[in-house]
Amino acid sequence: MIERIVFYSLSAVTLLAALGVVTLRNTVHSSLLLGLSLAGAAGLFASLGADFLFAAQIMVYVSGIAVLIMFSVMLLGRASDLHLRQVNEQWMAALLICAVSSAGLLKIARAYSETLPAAAAAPQTRTLGLLFMGDWLLAFELVSLVLTAALLGAVFFSRSEASR
């Protein structure tokens, strides 16, 4: 019972916030609702028993990426933009595509309608740690390389002309 309420409310928050992200005219509002949507997703992670991921989601996405996007929006935003439409003219085609695609996706989803969780959720931190440092060490290191490259790229691209 509790589980159901939790799930539906979290899902509602996530989905409605997402809708807000893609439809609102005010970009700042969009970015704030993005943060909310991401938080809702974190809650879903928690309900699924992925505790580390829930924490990581909050730390990385909500307080990292969402904030960053908010910064950029505020840097780029102009007051005159508030009156402009933010959705372009191919929204009907996009809607159609979504509708068509949903048919297939939902069908697959419904195929698992009987599946129930096998066991209780276990804490994952230790398992993940062992995984990263053991079997998936190479992938772990490569990902850190990716991060380094991203960092360097970002620094490079955002330098102003004067300092080049």
Partner 1 sequence: MIELAYLIPLIPAAAAFVMLFGGKEDPHSPMPWVGIAAMGVCLALSVSIFWAAAAGTVALPYEHNWHWFSFAAQVAGKPFVYDMPIGVLIDGPAAVTLVVVAMVSLMVQVYSVAYMHGDIRFKLYFAYVSFFTAAMLGLVASSNLLVTFACWELMGLSSYLLIGFWFEREGPCEAQKKAFMTTKLGDSGLYLALLFLYAKVGSFQLSQIYQFFDKGYMPPMVATVIGLGILLGAAGKSAQAPLFIWLPDAMEGPTPGSALIHAATMVAAGILLVSKTYFVFLASPTAMEAAGWVGLITAFLAASMALVSYDIKRVLAFSTVSQLGFMMCALGVGGFTAGLFHLTTHAFFKALLFLGAGSVIHSVHTNDMRQMGGLSKKMPLTFVTMLIAILAISGVPGLSGYYSKDMILANVWNHDHRMFWILLFTALMTAFYMFRLFFLTFWGDDRDHEKFHHAHESPALITGPLVVLAVFSAFAGAGLNHNGLVYKLIAKPTISAAATAAPAPGEHAAAVEPAEHSSAHEAAGEHGEHHEGHLPPWLHLTTIVLVLCSITLSFFLYRGPTYAVADAVKTSLAPLYTLLERRWYFDDFFYALVVVADKVAALAFWIDDNVVDRVFVDGWGLLMRIFAQLSDLFDNVFVDSAVDGVGGLGNDVGVGLRSLVREGQVQEYLMYAAIAFSLAATLILTR
Partner 2 sequence: MTLSHYLIVAALLFLIGVFGALTRRNIIGILMSIELMFNAANINLVAFERFLHPAGSAGSALALFIMTVAAAEVVVGLALLMAIYRNTDTAYVEHFNLLKG
Which residue's CB is nearer to partner 2, number 79 or number 156?
A: 156
Cβ count near 77 (within 10 Å): 14
Among 72, 101, 127, 144, binds partner 1 (CB under 8 A): 101
Which residue's CB is nearer to partner 2, number 83 or number 113?
A: 113
Among 19, 68, 105, 152, binds partner 1 (CB under 8 A): 105
Long-range contact pairs involving 69-76 (C-beta distance under 8 Å, separation at least 24): 69/31, 69/34, 70/28, 70/31, 70/32, 70/35, 73/27, 73/28, 73/30, 73/31, 74/28
d(CA 66, CA 57): 11
* Per-residue mark of binding to partner 2, 76-115 (x: CB under 8 A): x-------xxxxx-xx-xxx-xx--xx--xx-xxxxxxxx
Residues 6+ away with beta carbon under 8 Å from 15: none
Which residue's CB is nearer to partner 1, number 104 or number 134?
A: 104
State the binding partner of 103 from partner 2, partner 1, none, CB within 5 to 8 A by kind: partner 1
* Per-residue mark of binding to partner 1, 106-125 (x: CB under 8 A): -xx-----------------
